[in-house]
Chains A and B, each alone.
Chain A
Amino acid sequence: MTTTLTRRDALMVMGGSAVGLMLSPLPWKLLDDVAIRTQNHPWAVPAPRGRQTSRLTRCSLCPAGCALRARSVNGRPFALAPVPGDLASRGTACALGLAAAQLAYHPDRLTGPVRRLGPEWMTARVPVAPIGAVHLVSRWLRETQRAAGAEAVAVLDGWPGRERSLRYRRFLASLGGGTYVAAPDEGAFLGRFSGLLDPHPGPLGADLERAGTVLSFGAPPLLPRSAAERGLTLIHAGPRRPAQAALADLWLPIRPGTEATLALALAFLLLETPGSGRLANLVAEEREPLLALLARFTPEAAAATTGLAPAAIRQAALRLRAAGPAVALAGIDAAAGPLAPGDEIAIALLGVTLGSVGRVGGILPRAGLPGASDGCERVPVRDLHTVPDGSIHLLLLDGADPGLALPWSLVAPKLAPGARLVSFAPYLSGMATRADLIVPAPAPLEGLAEIPGSPVLAQAALGVAAPLLSPPPGCREPGEFLAAVAAATGLPEIEAAPVESRLRRWVEAIHRAGRGTVIRAGGGEASELSALASAADLWDLLLAGGRWIDASATPPRLLPALRLAPGLLALVAAAAGGQRRARPGEVLLVPIGIRGAVGTGSLPPALAKLCRESDLWPAAGDAFVHPDTASALRLRDGREAVLVTTAGSGRARVRIDRGAMPGVAFVAVGPGAAEFGATPGAREESLLRLCVPDAAGIWRVAPATLQEV
């Protein structure tokens, strides 16, 4: 018998084999092996191996100073987490703080001094030896002194009140009196409030630990966690609800620039209450004109200006009365900055009407940090807008970034032609990109840093962030750099001691004062400072993430009264009546942003990712407008538009937002996450440059046109 193999048979065998192979484990195993193999590319980044450690510290990115647990591998911190047992922060930390361990690796990070080649528009920079940087600044210093005197040397301090701030002032004092400028911070309102009171009570603070209600105009202060847990009522007044007020009990959506009107209307309603004669007792001068002014601000009149319903204003006044003690505060917005002086005075007047001055749970005298007295009276603290235009020849820019914006348009007019800029920023970003020379300071976690408490609070506080990483060898603490400059210039010697020894002196002074409480980051109850045997114990406790909090302020025996000079009353009247309105075809530009993402610093990689891949944080360059406003201006969602103000023009992306106030364009400012990792210094400038500062240095609102490209 012969077997004949036909073509059909051959095809059947081949087909059957193919089907059989598919049913066998062989191809799947092959795929599996290929899949496994692709997981082991030789260029794959392996997770680091080594000894893991954990320690407690404090976040040094803002005055909240939250307790953090840092986990490290081989001595490098890789993750930060809040500490649940910490009595101060109550186990909370913000997104920026949680990603702070990545800041040292930011692509913008500078590892040594760099100098710009050529004029301001050039971005090329060359490394400079540390000693070369000292001699360069020394030469610029001598030239400036010869040409324009010591006053022409200025320091712009990004975070006043730190030990580093004292060093700046001592350096300027050694010149014979330079110009020390403090960037706007949360304490500015209470400083102005204090200046209005007679007798002058000195520094003030809000006793939020014991307050019942906080009415915040602008961004609310960093509330003590204990107050929030206690059920403190937060009322926020502003055109947009900022992130800090996301859980506010009541939001009063007022038109931009009408804060003074609302404050005066609330004061009027509070005084209307029978038996409320507090104003007569607490206002020293100009009482009658003030009452006449207040009489103009009935709820109905204020409603027309603020855009609120009269009933809403009355309801707010009722809540202020009901859940006392109440405090009215003027906050500072991360992007829009402080309120105008007239607004702040009107809010101070409301505070007086509420009876919060000198009362527990109100506004109280604030004792300073023991040991932190500066002894630098020759160099007073100045606001930037008080510095004459064109008067600064050498500007030293502090690199600290407390997370608040400062428009370059506020700084630029103060510079003389050809002025030199030296920055101490750790990153090549923000204002540092304009500097002729950058001498990078240690980045967060790289240096020992103190964290003074919020200047808004009535109790001073101090925490210490321990260094968890070694800074690159080219980085230098600004105080030590300036001491070297002083020595090279032949100035009277200023102390060059390292940060630790200077902070230890503060801690010794606190221990000597013997007041207040200390809390340990790891948990447990707060204990009296006096229970600590020595300053060394206090230092160790702080270095382990502890915090010292001053004793609760006590009300003064003599209640100060508000003294309103005629000029100030006119300022209030102007602020309350001078609402900025947009003309037809225009919008009001209001800058917005999240604290920490609008300042001069750089975003950590994980946060840049969040900004890029979600819209939780407003993306820099987005303009949020109401649908009606968009319709009137023929704007479409997602399209590019040109934004024009008297300061210039820029491109923005239109975002139609039903929650935006009609007639207003809320423009997100700050470093754009989209440019993360782009060539340092080559980024587009923030739209903050379109905000126009007025004579008082306020840039909150600007009329603008918005036209689709």
Chain B
Amino acid sequence: MSTAAASNSRYGMAIDLDRCTGCGACMVACAVENNVPVPPPEAGERKGITLLRVYRAENGRPFPEAETAHLPIGCQHCGEEPPCVTVCPQNAVEVDPETGIVGQIPARCLGCRYCMAACPYHARYFNWWDPAWPAGMEQALNPDIAPRMRGVVEKCNFCHGRLQAAKAKAAAEGRSELKPDEYVPACVEACPARAIRFGDLADSSSEVARLAREPRAFRLLARLGTEPSVVYLSDRDWVRRLGDAAGPALGESHG
């Protein structure tokens, strides 16, 4: 498998929902990697920043046939006219043609939140507060990621800092291509169930591309034609149907 960041790459994920146990390791790894602070207690459960959020869904059957599935949902990195790119008046959202990653540029963001309204996956979050950490912990933040200020929108960027670091390392070693698995986002690295796979969807021989072709693969809200780079996998019909469900089917109270 080649994960080269060459032109025409399209990084993507394949998330096996039948393996995900909802342990939360991906959410924690994401928050640590991206210097996401704990919001103040008055934030409530909806105003915090969760670049990757694992939702819990139920099949609606009574005990003991009740089943649960966990859906990790972050930015879907739409391949076809991402709605957030279209609406941004500041060009603060850009698609990297080399990688297909939809990037957010906080320095340009005005905080108008059009992108949040436009995103059909509710995968964008607004910084309501200045970031703050317990005393002393600011010295133990990820040095590769600048904390974002209040008033800007942010979202998953497939740990872009890791991509840059991997590229820099490859360049330092005189390589133009990245080695397999040299660049993986923090959530992929952290998943103990190996439910999240990452790679180049444009490389038909890659594992993630192979998984995306499986009959049990589906995309969220495929009918919108946004062509997400995140593919979900499940053998369970009721889980696959979640891909076309509106927000409440995932359970607003279960977010």
Contacts and interface: CB of A to CB of B under 8 A. Distances in A.
Interface in A16-42: 31-32, 35-36, 38-39, 41
Interface stretch (A354-362, A556-564, A655-663): A655-663
Interface string B35-66: 11111010001101010011110101111101
Nearest to B39: A609
B110 A47 contact: no
A616 interface: yes
A662 B108 CA distance: 53
Contact of A659 (B36, B38, B58): B58
Interface stretch (A102-110, A185-193, A321-329, A514-522): A102-110
A612 B149 CA distance: 21
Nearest to A81: B189
B243 interface: no
Interface stretch (B132-140, B171-179, B229-237): B132-140
A493 interface: no
A106 B45 CA distance: 21
Given A79-B142, A106-B134, A677-B38, A38 B149 contact: yes
Given A92-B192, A94-B192, A609-B38, A39 B22 contact: no
Contacts of A609: 31, 36, 38-39, 48, 50
B143 A39 contact: no
A48 B137 CA distance: 10
Contacts of B32: 78-80, 98-99, 101-102, 606
A614 B53 contact: yes
A98 B25 contact: yes
B54 A614 contact: yes
Given A95-B27, A247-B193, A660-B63, A613 B48 contact: yes
B133 A105 contact: yes
Given A35-B110, A98-B29, A47 B35 contact: yes
A94 B58 contact: no
Contacts, number: 206
Contacts of B226: none
Interface stretch (A69-77, A475-483, A581-589, A690-698): A69-77
B63 A658 contact: yes
B24 interface: yes
7 contacts: A47-B141, A47-B146, A50-B143, A94-B25, A606-B28, A613-B50, A616-B54
A616 B62 contact: no
Nearest to B146: A47
B190 interface: yes
Nearest to B59: A658
Contact of B56 (A102, A615, A658): A615
Contact of A95 (B24, B70, B131, B139): B24
Given A105-B133, A615-B254, A49 B190 contact: no
Contacts of A73: 140, 142-143
Interface in A243-281: 243, 246-247, 251, 253
Contact of A98 (B28, B136, B147, B253): B28
Nearest to B50: A613
Interface of A: 31-32, 35-36, 38-39, 41, 43-50, 52, 71, 73-74, 76-82, 91-95, 98-99, 101-102, 104-107, 243, 246-247, 251, 253, 605-610, 612-617, 626-627, 637-638, 658-662, 674-678
B152 interface: yes
A616 B70 CA distance: 9
Interface residues of B, number: 73
A666 B147 CA distance: 39
Candidate in A81, A616, A674 with the most chain B CB atoms within 10 angstroms = A616
B33 interface: yes
B134 A247 contact: no
Contacts of A93: 25, 190, 192
A44 to B, nearest CB: 6
Candidate in A638, A658, A678 with the most chain B CB atoms within 10 angstroms = A658
Contact of B29 (A41, A81, A675): A81
Interface string B138-182: 111111111111011000000000000000000000000000000
A29 to B, nearest CB: 11
B66 A614 contact: no
B132 A45 contact: yes
Nearest to B54: A616
Contact of B140 (A38, A78, A678): A78
Contacts of B25: 93-95, 98
A658 B58 contact: yes
A74 B67 CA distance: 47
Candidate in B27, B68, B145 with the most chain A CB atoms within 10 angstroms = B27
Contacts of A43: 130
A45 B138 CA distance: 7
Given A81-B29, A253-B63, A659-B66, A613 B45 contact: yes
B19 interface: yes
B97 interface: no
Nearest to B47: A613
B24 A612 contact: no
A662 B29 CA distance: 36
Contacts of B41: 674-678
